Amino acid sequence: MKKILFTCALSFFFLVNQSFSQVKKAPDRHRGDGPWPQFIIRGVTLINGDGAPPMGPVDIVVERNRIKEIKVVGYPNVPIDSSKRPKLEPGGKELDCEGMYLLPGFIDMHAHIGGKRQGADAEYVFKLWMAHGVTTIREPGSGNGLDWVLEEKEKSARNEITAPRIVPYTVFGQGWDKPPATPEEARQWVRENAKKGAAGIKFFGAPPEIMAAALDENKKLGLRSACHHAQLNVARWNVLNSARAGLTTMEHWYGLPEALFDKQTVQHYPLDYNYLDEQNRFEEAGKLWRQAAKPGSKKWNEVMNELLVLDFTLDPTFNIYEASRDLMRARRAEWHEEYTMPSLWRFYEPSRVSHGSYWHNWGTEQEVAWRENYRLWMQFINEYKNRGGRVTTGTDSGFIYQLYGFAFVREMELLREAGFHPLEVIMSATLKGAEALGMDKEIGTVQVGKLADFVVVEENPLENLKVLYGTGAIRVTEDNEVVRVGGVKYTIKDGIVYDAKQLLKDVRDMVATAKKEEGFEIVQPGVNG
Ligand SMILES: [Zn+2]
């Protein structure tokens, strides 16, 4: 029996006495058309990830998987003069997207590929991501192990499977019987990780000397890094320590209020607190931001300025904590019925042993505290962006009622709520992620020479981000008919066009089959019919 580090959304890691619990790999690709020697997307309105306002109609010419030309072909509400349009060459393909909107492919910066306990196989997870326009993910370590992820990464790179491009990070210490215990061991693990082909490391925190050594070695090797600063180590090593030592991105928010403490050095833990009690952990975390230095105070500005100077990236993953401020909303999201696997639903249910299932007794007081927590946290994030800081879009789905793909759109909505202009939201979801991955020469904007990764939607997502949800947005027509609009129309990766609605149908079928096999119906917790 081999000990592995089982990663989890929100907590420290778990040492689990079991072998890697891998999910099923994605089957060979049977969806998507292309690429073509020449592919022209006709008449779209372009919403680029670089902050430029929408512009259209434009024709976008792609050759194989590269953007060749972006051509303005007319004016809004005026018929397009076809003589001005790029010519279709023999063997080429054109796609009429007049009236539609085109964005760069989305980048989910915190995307675990499924999980055995969630019963979320690769095909299910990949298709949910792709159906929501996610064409690149950063994998922050999963129970599948690095070798497994690397194989899927390669297959995705060759487009042999329907999947986003994968940037694999490894959980620090993963693959060893026990976590590196000395600076030298830390360096050794980091070197092995680089050799195996990981693009970076995901930390959960460690003693200061270990963190310093690991980050130093990793940086020397040119790899990137992410850290969820778990409370266990945060008193001695918070976000500022990480940023100074060369960490690329901080995940979630832990470690940031601690960097902002001006009247204390540890969180006001109740004296009977136990870190392994999930209710304790999440309830007390909800009181953390208000223990930090006030917005606009000297300390607030000092910390923000230093992070800005260090070009540090914040990956807040607002959505994954949303059940804390509104449990019913997260639990009853309208996509659960058709898109949530029975196994995943069971995994989400409140439990003293399931991770992140912390609502042992979650009520008004906890939710109100968390709303205030969000208010302060969002203020920091928005201000950081306003002062030139990089904020990315990450989800951490597969925990706490947050579903792959859908959660990415929710994260965009929460960035909007934090104060981002919808164009800034799109930048965060595309270019900012690409920059943090060091891939902005290849992806992140629609630009000649870059890879042909796009999201096409029939509605204007700037007016309502909800049109990006697979379930669309509700609208009443002039004839008083209630309809659903939106949902991504096409997800294009490497010049291959996927019918996003078809991918959603595939997922619904998978879920329906699993439910039928198990005779499963969603039952509300504590209510047995
Ligand atoms: Zn995570």
The per-residue pLDDT for range 319-334, each reduced to its tens digit, is 999 999 999 999 999 9
Identify the band that residue 7 occupies on the pLDDT scale cut at 50, 70 and 90. Answer: very low
Ligand 1 centroid to Cα of residue 262, in Å, is 29
**What tokens does 362 get?**
């979650």
Q: Separation of 109 CA from ligand 1 center, angstroms?
A: 10
At 303-312, the pLDDT tens digits run 999 999 999 9
**Looking at the predicted structure, is the pLDDT value of residue 19 above 60?**
no
The pLDDT of residue 184 is above 70? yes
Query: How far is ligand 1, taken at its centre, from the CA of residue 274, in Å?
Result: 21
Phi and psi, residue 478, nearest 5°: -65, -25
CB-side neighbour CA atoms (13 Å) of 58: 19
Q: Does residue 74 register a pLDDT over 50?
A: yes
Torsion of CA 469, 167, 29, 32, to 10 degrees: 50
CA of 142 to the centre of ligand 1 (A): 8
Please give the DSSP secondary-structure letter assigned to residue 93.
Answer: E
User: CA-CA distance, 228 to 278, in Å (whole number)?
Assistant: 17
> What is the pLDDT of the chain when averaged over all its residues?
94
Q: List pLDDT tens digits, range 413-427.
A: 999 999 999 999 999
Farthest-apart Cα atoms in the chain, separation = 76
Q: What Rg, from alpha-carbon coordinates, does the chain have?
A: 23
Centroid of ligand 1 to alpha carbon of 402 (angstroms):
12
| pLDDT of 86 over the 60 cut | yes
Distance in angstroms (rounded) separating the CA atoms of residues 414 and 407: 10
Q: pLDDT by residue (tens digit) across 208-260?
A: 999 999 999 999 999 999 999 999 999 999 999 999 999 999 999 999 999 99
Q: How remote is the CA of residue 36 from the centroid of ligand 1, in Å?
A: 37
Task: Give the model confidence (pLDDT) of 255-275 as tens digits.
Answer: 999 999 999 999 999 999 999
528 alpha carbon – ligand 1 mean position (Å): 32
Provide the residue type at 383 as one letter. Answer: E
Whether the per-residue pLDDT at 357 is higher than 80: the answer is: no
Tell me which range, 56-65, 74-83, 113-122, 352-361, is most confidently predicted by mean pLDDT.
56-65
CA of 297 to the centre of ligand 1 (A): 31
pLDDT per position as a tens digit, 399-409: 999 999 999 99
CA dihedral 253, 256, 260, 261 (to 10 degrees): 80
Centre of ligand 1 to C-alpha 80, Å, is 47
The pTM (predicted TM-score) of the whole model is 0.96
Structure tokens at 345: 């639903």
For residues 77-97, average pLDDT: 95
Name the pLDDT band for 359 (thresholds 50, 70, 90). confident
Strand (E) or helix (H) holding 188: helix 183-196
Q: What is the mean pLDDT of residues 32-59?
A: 98
Helices (H), 419-477: 422-429, 431-437
Say how many Å lie between the CA of residue 12 and the centre of ligand 1.
10
Which pLDDT band, with edges at 50, 70 and 90, does 360 fall under? confident
CA of residue 172 to ligand 1 center, whole Å: 13
Q: What is the pLDDT of residue 356?
A: 67
Residue pair 67/446 in contact by the 8 Å Cβ criterion: yes
Q: What is the mean pLDDT of residues 79-88?
A: 94
Q: What is the pLDDT confidence band of residue 355, given thresholds at 50, 70 and 90?
A: low
Dihedral pair phi/psi, residue 318, rounded to 5°: -50, -40
How far, in Å, from the CA of 314 to the mean position of ligand 1?
A: 14
Flag whether pLDDT at 120 surpasses 90: yes
pLDDT for res 278: 87
Q: Which of 9-13, 299-303, 390-394, 435-439 has the lowest mean pLDDT?
A: 9-13
**Residue labelled with tokens 């409370």:** 231
Mean pLDDT in residue range 147-166: 98
**Alpha carbons 233 and 206: distance in angstroms, whole number:** 6
Residue 140 CA to ligand 1 centre (angstroms): 6
What percentage of the chain carries pLDDT values higher than 70?
A: 95
226 C-alpha vs ligand 1 centroid, how far in Å? 10
Rounded distance from Cα 2 to ligand 1 centre (Å)? 22
183 membership: H or E segment, kind and range: helix 183-196
For 448, counting Cβ atoms within 10 Å of its Cβ (0-12 exposed, 13-18 middle, 19+ buried), the class is exposed
